[in-house]
Amino acid sequence: MTDPVRFLTSLGQALSTMSLYSDGHPARERAVDSSYELLQDLAREEPNPNFSFIDQEVLYRKQVLRDLHGWDWGPRLSNAAIQRVEFDTVVSRDEYAG
């Protein structure tokens, strides 16, 4: 599994967990912490990571992430009018959780 795939998988898990538990719940905090750590690892390798969600495809930069074809969160984000997610190299944990 590549770093971008690992990160997006953790992001999906964090979003799911955040929908189940309120602010401050230990499960929610662990999920956000884990995902945030993977984002930081990814940003160290390539500054300003960005992802695009087009139908059933997920792109990292301009490369299709075949491991995420049919990933549930791709269409969910796209249907919520979020077709692109881009991160600055410096994102605080609080900003990420928000």
pLDDT, residue 60, reads 94
The answer on pLDDT for 47 being more than 90 is no
> CB neighbours of 47 closer than 8 A, spacing ≥ 6?
89
Q: How confident is the model at residue 36 (pLDDT cuts 50, 70, 90)?
A: very high
pTM: 0.88
The answer on pLDDT for 12 being more than 60 is yes
